[in-house]
């Protein structure tokens, strides 16, 4: 298949990372893959591993809807003649849908709850573009139910769980609790290191982990936090830590091209988000054998069996978050739960399984298009 991937940008984020992974892996399987991104943020461009003949272009959109960028996208796809186009999230779908691309258009949706009035209005405007799309791919069943109930769907609708490379995310015994990076970050052997891997945006609610660290330490647990990432909430996190007297109890790594060594330096990983669809960061941590404490949002209950391979807690409930993290302060408890977490990912959320499902869905769309073209040609001939 000739596949064109369209993303809003290549900014640091799970949706963009997944689009790059899909393009790389489908190219390795012999498909002719090309990638186009709308806005000039190439932060993850180095992750792309497409063959030299593949087209990789930025549309350099200067505003929300840039007519010049639309024209550029139309010309690119006219030249590439993709058999199928896969857009990542609604913004990329808008460009792909309005550009008048001839091939069938699919979209992967990575968001669930919309928090601002502006975003709600945008989703209303995006809805007709979803209706016209050949296929909408949701990343978990709960997300699919949420959006179908709100009238957002494609002509076909599928659920494909996010997946990770089990070899890359294989745990190493030498990394557990004693990695050189852990020492370099200033963590002592007896520290209980709780990681959070995310862009520090408001919806990720990172200050809640600082609150939890303060309560854990007040209860005698030697907890410390490692924030793997950066973002606009960093100043607020630092201010809260100073206010609670735990400013020396956490580390912010900044943006990292490879988060694996940093996740490996953690004993457990926690999310504190107000909204998630199906967290790639959580699956990565689980694949490394790290228990994940996750708020009950999005597809969390489809990923984690609470008490078996991780813990769930009500959104915003710091007391329950602290209780869950306290239980994992016991090395034996977190080792057992971490092993279960790795087994869950291997059974249900492997990258291979994800790629095969996308390949199957995209091939169906391309085949349907080919059959329709043949029928049109026969009708014209008669």
- 197 plus 210 within the same structural domain: yes
pLDDT of residue 207: 98
In a domain, 193, yes or no: yes
Whether 189 and 55 share a structural domain: no
Whether residues 230 and 316 share a domain: the answer is: yes
Q: Residue 174: what pLDDT?
A: 58
Structure tokens at 351: 């990258």
% the chain with pLDDT above 90: 87
Q: Does some domain include residue 46?
A: yes
Is the same domain home to 194 and 338? yes
Model pLDDT, residue 309: 97
Within its chain, how far is the Cα of 235 from the centroid? 24
Q: How many domains does the chain have?
A: 2
Does 178 lie in the same domain as 154?
Answer: no
Taking CA atoms, 297 is separated from 87, 146, 204, in Å, by: 24, 12, 12
**Do the domain assignments include residue 315?**
yes
With 60 as the cut, is the pLDDT of residue 349 above it?
Answer: yes
Which is more confident, 352 or 372? 352
Is residue 319 pLDDT above 70, yes or no? yes
Q: Are residues 152 and 186 in the same domain?
A: no
| 168 falls within a domain | no
**158 lies in the same domain as 9:** yes
Confidence of residue 100 (pLDDT cuts 50, 70, 90): confident
pLDDT level of residue 116 (50, 70, 90 thresholds)? confident
Asked whether the predicted pLDDT for residue 117 surpasses 90, the reply is no
Per-residue model confidence as pLDDT tens digits over 259-296: 999 999 999 999 999 999 999 999 999 999 999 999 99
- Asked whether residue 312 is assigned to any structural domain, the reply reads yes
Tokens 């020492």 locate to 183
Identify whether residues 325 and 178 lie together within a single domain: yes
Across 325-339, average pLDDT: 97
Residues 309 and 331 in one domain: yes
pLDDT at 102 (0 to 100):
82
Could you tell me the strand order of the sheet in which 268-270 lies? 250-252, 223-228, 192-197, 268-270, 292-295, 310-313
Mean pLDDT of 150-167: 96
d(CA 322, CA 328): 10
Q: Are residues 31 and 50 in the same domain?
A: yes
Answer whether residue 102 is part of any domain. yes
- In this structure, the answer to whether residues 200 and 77 fall within a common structural domain is no
CATH number for the domain spanning 85: value is 3.40.50.2000
Mean pLDDT for the stretch of residues 181-198: 94
Question: How much is the average pLDDT of 32-44?
Answer: 97
Q: How much is the average pLDDT of 207-229?
A: 97
Tell me the percentage of the chain whose pLDDT exceeds 70: 95
> Mean pLDDT score of the chain, rounded to an integer?
93
Domain range enclosing 217: 173-348
In this predicted structure, the answer to whether residue 105 has a pLDDT above a threshold of 60 is: yes
What pLDDT score was predicted for residue 101? 87
Residues 320 and 296 in one domain: yes
């Amino acid at each position: 298949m000739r596949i064109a991937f369209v993303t809003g940008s290549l900014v640091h984020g799970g949706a963009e990372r997944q689009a790059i992974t899909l393009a790389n892996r489908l190219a390795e399987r012999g498909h002719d893959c090309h990638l186009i991104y709308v806005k000039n943020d190439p932060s993850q461009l180095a992750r792309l591993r497409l063959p030299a003949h593949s087209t990789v272009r930025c549309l350099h959109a200067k505003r929300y809807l840039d007519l010049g960028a639309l024209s550029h996208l139309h010309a690119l796809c006219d030249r590439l003649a993709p058999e199928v186009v896969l857009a990542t999230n609604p913004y990329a779908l808008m460009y792909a849908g309005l550009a008048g691309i001839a091939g069938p258009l699919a979209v992967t949706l990575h968001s669930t709850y919309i928090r601002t009035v502006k975003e709600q209005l945008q989703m209303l405007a995006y809805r007709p573009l979803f209706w016209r799309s050949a296929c909408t791919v949701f990343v978990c069943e709960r997300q699919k139910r949420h959006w179908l109930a709100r009238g957002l769907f494609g002509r076909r609708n599928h659920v494909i769980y996010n997946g990770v490379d089990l070899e890359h995310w294989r745990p190493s015994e030498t990394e557990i609790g004693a990695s050189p990076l852990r020492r370099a970050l200033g963590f002592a052997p007896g520290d209980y290191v709780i990681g959070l891997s995310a862009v520090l945006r408001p919806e990720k609610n990172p200050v809640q982990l600082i609150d939890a660290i303060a309560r854990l330490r007040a209860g005698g647990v030697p907890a410390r936090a490692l924030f793997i990432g950066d973002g606009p909430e960093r100043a607020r996190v630092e201010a809260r830590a100073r206010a609670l007297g735990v400013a020396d109890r956490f580390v912010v790594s900044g943006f990292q091209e490879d988060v694996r060594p940093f996740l490996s330096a953690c004993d457990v990983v926690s999310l504190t988000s107000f909204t998630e669809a199906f967290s790639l960061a959580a699956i990565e941590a689980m694949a490394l054998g790290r228990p994940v404490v996750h708020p009950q949002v999005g597809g969390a209950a489809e990923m984690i069996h609470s008490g078996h391979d991780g813990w769930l807690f009500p959104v915003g409930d710091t007391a329950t978050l602290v209780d869950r993290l306290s239980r994992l302060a016991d090395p034996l408890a977190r080792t057992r739960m971490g092993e279960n977490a790795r087994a869950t990912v291997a059974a249900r959320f492997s990258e291979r399984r994800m790629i095969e499902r996308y390949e199957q869905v995209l091939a169906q769309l391309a085949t349907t298009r080919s059959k329709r073209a043949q029928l049109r040609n026969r009708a014209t001939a008669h």
